[in-house]
């Protein structure tokens, strides 16, 4: 991923130094167990740690790259460089193992490491949403369906809705991490013919993984498909919130907007512009992350016990999806924390349509006073259409409609136009959402 949309702590997971370190630990832990089983000398396993347990400096990485340019095999190049460090005892490294044991186990370790960062990101976003939701719990604003004024809500309720959505996403991420954190040290075609299953169990325990129940030389890719699908769902939720903010920031709405810092410029041509550039950026980043779920699903269908058609895909989407989502979650958190909210404008918009937002309550009251639902709908709608045509406000028109006043006394009719009626259960919803 390009630096513009990357954070160092996440990109570090995908750097060669971290990858090779994980490869080394897989091999060294496997050697320890092989020594315990008497397959290799205990002194040899000890020397692997003593001589090979060094930082993967740029010189070491360059050496691996040089060897790979000749042998055209990344794991062999790694083992060659490790042998140069360890010496003769390196012949006992990789006993009974195959390249996929190293590659697949490492990939899952990296995904688990990346997920731990994403979970931290999610917690920060949830905290920001909760804080702003409580700040605006009782700030009324227009609820919309189809983009058209519907009935009143509160801005805090909007944010509570997104909190609940991202809380579900956090649960999905926890489940995805659990599913992806498996280890395969089973040798060629996954039969353990040349390596004892206890080696896999040992390496898995050391790396914080679980043994893969059956790995046909590769870890089954349905696990990875589910993982990247979970990231795609989270990306969609990011776009969901970003789109809400973008709509609210439109000039003719302007109920809320991204923070516009001192010295910031919105347009090279128009000095007045304050554009929702962060949430537009998030919309684009969400598309990228979602797009990576499809190739992950296509990776499930490998030939027989294995092929490597999945490899080139994962070398791209592993870093790109996690790095992009990490950046997007932190950018969204910043947007929420600094979101500028305009309660006065929300109040203006609530009153913009001449009381139309109270039409349902009038409809229901008529039905409770002996009018059929069909006739109640017809009576209220004919008055509402006049409001749309700018012929007055709804309450005034209803007061002159004999079909209404014959059923509902004027004082009760006026009481139907009470904003508090629509927000009386907000506390109940908040108690449900923030029960944790």
Question: pLDDT of 48-94, one tens digit each?
Answer: 999 999 999 999 999 999 999 999 999 999 999 999 999 999 999 99
Local confidence band at 267 (pLDDT 50, 70, 90 cut-offs): confident
Pairing outcome for strands 256-257 and 340-341: antiparallel
Which residue in the list 146, 261, 268, 272 is annotated as catalytic?
146
Statement: residue 1 has pLDDT above 80: no
Per cent of the chain over pLDDT 70 is 100
Which residue in the list 44, 99, 186, 267 is annotated as catalytic?
267
Whether 267 is catalytic: yes
Question: pLDDT of 180-206, one tens digit each?
Answer: 999 999 999 999 999 999 999 999 999
Question: pLDDT of 367-421, one tens digit each?
Answer: 999 999 999 999 999 999 999 999 999 999 999 999 999 999 999 999 999 999 9
Q: 273 or 164: whose pLDDT is higher?
A: 164
Question: pLDDT of 292-323, one tens digit each?
Answer: 999 999 999 999 999 999 999 999 999 999 99
Closest CA to 305 of 100, 93, 32: 100
CA-to-CA distance for 246 and 276, rounded, in angstroms? 6
One-character DSSP codes across 17-72:
HHHHHHHHHHHHHHHHHHHHTTSS-HHHHHHHHHHH-S---HHHHHHHHHHHHHH-
Give the pLDDT of residue 101: 96
3-state secondary structure of 268: coil
Give the pLDDT of residue 333: 98
Closest CA to 318 of 102, 121, 108: 108
Question: pLDDT of 126-162, one tens digit each?
Answer: 999 999 999 999 999 999 999 999 999 999 999 999 9
């Amino acid at each position: 991923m390009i630096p513009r949309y990357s954070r160092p702590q996440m990109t570090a997971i995908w750097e060669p130094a971290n990858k090779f370190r994980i490869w080394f630990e897989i091999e060294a832990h496997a050697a320890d167990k092989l020594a315990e089983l008497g397959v290799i000398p205990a002194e040899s396993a000890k020397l692997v740690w003593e001589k090979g347990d060094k930082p993967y400096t740029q010189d070491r990485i360059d050496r691996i790259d040089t060897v790979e340019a000749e042998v055209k095999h990344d794991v062999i190049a790694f083992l060659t460089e490790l042998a140069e460090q360890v010496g003769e005892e390196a012949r006992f490294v990789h006993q009974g193992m195959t390249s996929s044991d190293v590659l697949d186990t490492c990939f899952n370790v990296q995904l688990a490491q990346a997920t731990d960062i994403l979970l931290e990101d999610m917690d920060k976003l949830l905290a920001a949403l909760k804080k702003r939701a409580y700040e605006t719990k009782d700030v009324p604003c227009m609820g919309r369906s189809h983009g058209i004024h519907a009935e009143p809500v509160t801005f805090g309720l909007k944010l509570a809705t997104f909190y609940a959505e991202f809380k579900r996403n956090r649960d999905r991420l926890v489940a995805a991490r659990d599913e992806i954190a498996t280890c395969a040290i089973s040798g060629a075609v996954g039969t353990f013919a040349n390596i004892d299953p206890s080696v896999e169990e040992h390496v898995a325990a050391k790396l914080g993984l679980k043994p893969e129940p059956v790995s046909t030389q590769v870890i089954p890719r349905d696990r990875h498909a589910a993982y990247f699908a979970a990231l795609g769902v989270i990306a969609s939720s990011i776009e969901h919130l970003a789109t809400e903010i973008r709509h609210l920031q439109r000039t003719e709405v302007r109920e809320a907007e991204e923070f516009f810092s001192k010295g910031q410029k919105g347009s090279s041509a128009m000095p007045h512009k304050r554009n929702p550039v962060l949430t537009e950026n998030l919309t684009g980043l969400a598309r990228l992350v979602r797009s990576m779920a499809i190739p992950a699903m296509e990776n499930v269908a490998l030939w027989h016990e294995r092929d490597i058609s999945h490899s080139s895909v994962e070398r791209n989407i592993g870093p790109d999806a996690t790095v992009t989502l990490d950046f997007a979650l932190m950018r969204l958190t910043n947007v929420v924390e600094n979101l500028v909210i305009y309660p006065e404008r929300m109040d203006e918009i609530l009153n913009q349509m001449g009381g139309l937002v109270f039409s349902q309550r009038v409809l229901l009251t008529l039905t409770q006073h002996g009018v059929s639902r069909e006739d109640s709908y017809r009576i209220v709608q004919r008055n509402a259409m006049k409001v749309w045509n700018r012929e007055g406000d709804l309450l005034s028109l209803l007061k002159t409609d004999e079909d209404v006043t014959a059923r509902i006394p004027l004082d009760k009719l006026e009481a139907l136009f009470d904003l508090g009626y629509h927000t009386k259960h907000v506390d109940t919803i908040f108690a449900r959402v923030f029960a944790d």
